[in-house]
Chains A and B, each alone.
Chain A
């Protein structure tokens, strides 16, 4: 193992280190299948063990604010309208209108055609716009369409692109295709001014099924230059789970050990309560440590989670539970 360099943003490519590995289909396969296996029972027991941590009082208040700052407030529905997206964006900037001390969320996450609307509302508030691209959620489209989808979103002003991998290619063992797909989408994230939208790579872990696959997909995406690895689209069950996120956290931790580069993690789908969110933060804390306890390196993809966080936050500050009517629905 190489000594750990100081963490840098994922902008610097890790390519050099892995040139030999991604040289051919067979060398890539050898590498991915040579990663230490995951024992399912042990992994799930570890995740369940961490979930018993008791987070109270000051640490709970800390965790709630941090979790709010990590939310990618999401709407990904066929019925989305510009009005709906504007409302969501307003909520992302001021989640609790009654309490100005409440932090903003990290981003709003929308389909590419809604990016401009979201961007317009968010302005320079600091809340990012994330767009799902590459024929989300199935990823079943020709490569040029996926790239066009990505470029379109970037041009419209997306700060972050959430792409889906081709699970069919991954499951049939065409790892190099997946690698190249991610690398190409990353190139499509480039803006004319030389900067680039951040790339999150969605695995749809509910379709990859095994923890071994999740670990392999994690390394594949990190080697291809993804800034974030993300569990799910939210359209397939199961979506994010604690053990799947545990495997991904171990992967980013090990990746930094080897390359000095940090990659972010985003569980998405199915995280609905403050209690759930805190379990994830405990896991980040104990698997990866402090450095990842930041919206730059850990996100929650969620729509309903935010309101529960707000209710718990109000309870912490006032000592009373308010009804759901006291929090906005968008």
Chain B
């Protein structure tokens, strides 16, 4: 027409976010009583899962180190934090929230380097919600007597968080605990300790009184030392159902209050009258967001038989446009699997899916040579009897099942030991409400998926755990109750 220039493909040139903004030290100690200390244990390495490059050596906290941290937390609790007025505590939380926003880019880049998640996500989802949590709970600090749960804190909280949302899970744990007047000892996951340690620096920068927040790094033994420490009043854990059960056993018979946010195998239910293009986006967001390392991931797609073929066609076409690769590239949609161990687990369960006769399809994409990668994958022809329909894969792997009637959808969705989340896609409002009533899941999303907000409570049924985080309900886990 206008000029004869042939159209070639619109390739996106690399658009890497600069690493220069973060300063990763060669080694890190523990953050106890407001200072970084060496600790008594050995150290372990944390690596960049996208390149396998060693990022830093991190101290492994021993029982004695954990004891020091709990003592520091107890001192800060009795002498300072529990005596401070809510309005004063709020000032610290607001200050932390603002520093998180100011240093948002630094936190986002570091999170992507240590975790493998795309910068698009750490920048646009994780860090903004982290700041929002601190702002939200700062607002509660001087209004606790209107919460319905009283305004008496519990004491020292021992908190153990996972590697999928390192900073966000830290915020979910620390913000409400501090707002209610508790002090904390928190252990980040061993593969993703760096943003928690940067958060420790932010606590220093905010002049938070020493001992109110203590960060101890380490693996399972360190976690065990925290939850079983006799002077810990409250245990909050997010992670696997297996470890959650062990924690429940460890604290049984003690006075400790416990909240557990564990695994899931969420059903994402698509009815034939759903807004299909948006449903496909929701399916993609449900399972490929954060490489599928999401406890509430929509890992089981339940699609009504009458539209199953059309939905699958659209889904595969959409999956082919997902950009997998360098987490720091601003155009990356799917980043690296967090660890070699997790990659092995995803591969194993996917192999089992194939062996059990489900049909496997992966989006065509070039995976980098180094690092831990898994192409977005979908299994069709899956039945409730397949292991990939029952076990949490915690990776970018979707199992597709079909249903004929709403009742069958409910039955299949609820037929799991988990009950964390579910999704319903339909243009019919009344059906959304009736499904939400019948689904045994802590969160039911309607015509959306994986939406998080500090004002909204989150938590599970059955083996997905107990207790709620976020919103007014999230305060209950950190207060003694209205009668105290």
Contact = CB atoms under 8 A, between A and B. Distances in A.
A180 interface: no
Contact of A39 (B10, B120, B278, B310): B278
Contacts of B448: 41-42
A184 to B, nearest CB: 26
Nearest to A41: B448
Contacts of B282: 42
Contact of B277 (A41, A250, A294): A250
A55 B276 CA distance: 29
Contacts of A59: 10-13
A281 interface: yes
B277 A43 contact: yes
Contact of A52 (B8, B124, B274, B281): B124
Interface in B292-331: 310, 313, 321, 330-331
B1 A296 contact: yes
Nearest to B425: A39
A54 B123 CA distance: 14
Contact of B330 (A45, A52, A296): A52
A101 B5 CA distance: 11
B347 to A, nearest CB: 29
Contact of B7 (A36, A39, A293): A293
Given A41-B447, A103-B3, A56 B13 contact: yes
A295 B447 CA distance: 35
B368 interface: no
Nearest to B309: A1
Contacts of A295: 1-2
A294 B120 contact: no
B2 A42 contact: no
B15 interface: yes
B278 A46 contact: yes
B9 interface: yes
Contacts of B275: 36-39, 42-43
Contact of A54 (B5, B11, B278, B331): B331
Contacts of B5: 65, 69, 103
Nearest to B313: A1
Interface string A44-59: 0110000011111111
Contacts of B3: 69, 103-104, 126
A109 interface: no
A63 B5 CA distance: 13
Contacts of B1: 106, 126, 128, 295-296
B367 to A, nearest CB: 20
A106 B2 contact: yes
Contacts of B2: 69, 103-107, 126-128, 295
A295 B1 CA distance: 7
Interface residues of A, number: 42
Interface in B253-288: 273-278, 281-282
Nearest to A250: B277
A37 B331 contact: no
B7 A294 contact: yes
A37 B10 contact: no
Contacts, number: 95
Contacts of A55: 12-13, 15
Contacts of B68: none
Nearest to A102: B3
A45 B289 CA distance: 14
B281 to A, nearest CB: 5
B277 A63 contact: no
B427 interface: yes
B339 to A, nearest CB: 28
Contacts of B281: 42, 45-46
A56 B278 contact: no
A52 B323 CA distance: 14
Interface string B443-459: 00001100000000000
Nearest to B321: A286
Contact of B15 (A56, A286, A293): A56
A54 to B, nearest CB: 4
A77 interface: no
A77 B125 CA distance: 45
Nearest to B320: A289
Interface in A76-127: 103-107, 126-127
A66 interface: yes
A294 B310 CA distance: 28
B10 A54 contact: no
Nearest to B275: A39
A175 B274 CA distance: 24
A62 interface: yes
A290 interface: yes
A213 to B, nearest CB: 14
Given A43-B277, A43-B278, A69-B5, A281 B10 contact: yes
B7 A66 contact: yes
A109 to B, nearest CB: 13
Contact of A53 (B124, B273, B331): B331
A293 B11 CA distance: 12
A273 interface: no
Nearest to A247: B277
A104 B5 CA distance: 11
A1 B307 CA distance: 12
A290 B8 CA distance: 8
A27 interface: no
A198 B282 CA distance: 37
B464 to A, nearest CB: 26
Contacts of A290: 7, 9-10
A286 B15 CA distance: 17
A293 B313 CA distance: 22
Contacts of B277: 36, 38, 42-43, 46, 250
Nearest to B310: A1
Contact of B10 (A1, A56, A69, A285): A285
Interface centre among A62, A104, A296 (most CB of B within 10 A): A62
Contact of B427 (A37, A41, A282): A37
Nearest to A246: B277
B139 to A, nearest CB: 26
A36 B330 contact: no
B10 A63 contact: yes
Contacts of A65: 5
A45 B277 CA distance: 12
Counting from the closest, the 4 A-B pairs by CB-CB distance are A42-B278, A54-B15, A54-B330, A39-B275
9 contacts: A36-B274, A38-B277, A54-B331, A56-B15, A62-B10, A103-B3, A105-B2, A106-B1, A295-B2
Interface of A: 1, 36-39, 41-43, 45-46, 52-60, 62-63, 65-66, 69, 103-107, 126-128, 250, 281-282, 285-286, 290, 293-296
Given A103-B3, A107-B2, A126-B3, 16 more contacts: A36-B276, A38-B275, A38-B278, A41-B448, A42-B281, A42-B447, A46-B277, A53-B330, A54-B12, A54-B15, A54-B331, A59-B11, A60-B13, A103-B5, A295-B1, A296-B1
